Amino acid sequence: MEEPERELTEHLLEAARRAGLSATGDEDTDLSGYLSLRAANDRLRERGSDALLDAFTALAGEANRRGAAVTLARTEPHRFHVGNSTMVGTRLTLSRGVRSLAVEAGWPRAPRDGFVQGGGLARARVTHFGDRGPAEDLMLVMDVGGTPVWVVPGGGSAHAELTPERLCRHVLRLLSEK
């Protein structure tokens, strides 16, 4: 658990203690349930974020085996905004010459960061330096089997699942000479 998250948990427990909640009270059970749910969701968020970043890393590795000379840089912790909320997570930058592709993935860690809009667990963004056209915002949601999957949010509740082909298009755009 990262330091800000540990601090928040300690503040919540201290607030519960000051409010006079006993170990046998329903409120304590509610707080314990909330902290357990939050920890479980954080594990899903981490797994989903790692999978997204690992997929881009693997694609860059494959391109490099074919002579592309893509360099990678990872920034943690990294903060980025989605709407009025602040996501905290990781930024992976794939660079080739003056061109770069950034993949940001994270979620709000503290109440002041806001929340994941749209009901997802986490958010991500794929951007191409100097070219806003192919940028994509992503949201981590649970599929019907309880597995976290990245989707491209659409209007209303319609979401398109992020496919390996879609990830490849981003890397191919980085590698293109245009």
Average pLDDT over residues 20-41: 69
> Looking at the predicted structure, is the pLDDT value of residue 25 above 70?
no
Q: By C-alpha distance, which of 7, 31, 36, 9 is closest to 20?
A: 31
**Chain segment 96-145, per-residue pLDDT in tens:** 999 999 999 999 998 899 888 888 999 999 999 978 777 899 999 998 88
Residue 111's Cβ-count burial label (10 Å; 0-12, 13-18, 19+) is exposed
Tokens of 146: 């309880």
Residue 91 or 24, more confident: 91
Structure confidence at residue 37 (pLDDT): 86
CA–CA separation, 48 vs 128, rounded Å?
21
Domain range list for the chain:
47-175
Q: At what angle do helices 3-18 and 26-65 cross, to 10 degrees?
A: 170
* Contact yes or no for 139/28 (Cβ under 8 A): no
More confident residue, 165 or 28: 165
